[in-house]
Amino acid sequence: MPAAFMAQCTMATKKTSSFCECSLKAFSKSMRETRKRDLSVLEMNYASERAAFLSDPAMSDDKIDAVCDLHDSALEYKNQAAIARKTDAQKYRDLRAKSFAQLDRKKELAEGYNAGHQVAGSLIAGKFCDNRHKISEIKRHQAEDETMLYGEIRELFEMNPNFYSSAIFREGQKGKCS
């Protein structure tokens, strides 16, 4: 269990470390179950939207993937920038510039396919690509050992070691942690 979380939890809740550990495990289990439900909805919407894109004669799987790959790259730069923001202003600016450059390349690529206005606009807007990214993240986290903290929670602690949420405490109370 993350040490900073345990210290903050025991101090904030006036509970034992075993309660805090139980709460975090219950929260992790709850998040895993929620993401399973989210995944089925996302996959259904993603499949129907992808089919709509492919109905445009100018589009193909490779073209859609190329646009979304640039979107994912921009998102990665954006996430790295968020981490760098606290420690290195120059690195933060560089990563943000790279993120914006990837988004510009994505827009040029989508517009260059000569697809219908609605298809190109949807790809540029990014919701479809965001959903593709969410699906891959959820699948990656779901593939992990269920005895581990859910990956999304671990990543929160990696980005902010002092992360604490009252939702974790409430999950412990619901889960009858003591």
pLDDT value, residue 60: 95
pLDDT value, residue 156: 79
pLDDT value, residue 147: 73
pLDDT value, residue 46: 95
Task: Give the angle subtended at the CA of 63 by the CAs of 135 and 95, to the nearest 5°.
Answer: 65
pTM above 0.85, yes or no: no
Residue-wise pLDDT tens for the chain (178 aa)? Answer: 677 778 878 888 788 888 888 888 888 888 889 999 999 999 999 999 999 999 999 999 999 999 999 999 999 999 899 889 888 999 999 999 999 999 999 999 999 999 998 899 999 999 999 999 999 999 988 888 777 777 888 887 777 767 777 788 888 888 678 7
pLDDT value, residue 142: 85
Domain residues for the domain of 81 are 3-174
Alpha-carbon span 114 to 73, nearest angstrom: 23
pLDDT value, residue 43: 96
Question: 110, 103, 131: which is closest to 58 by C-alpha?
Answer: 110
The owner of tokens 């990214």 is 133
Q: Decide if 160 contacts 8 (C-beta within 8 A).
A: no
Alpha-carbon span 57 to 46, nearest angstrom: 19
Domain count for the chain: 1
Q: What is the token pair recorded at 47?
A: 């499949």
Q: Decide if 56 contacts 116 (C-beta within 8 A).
A: yes
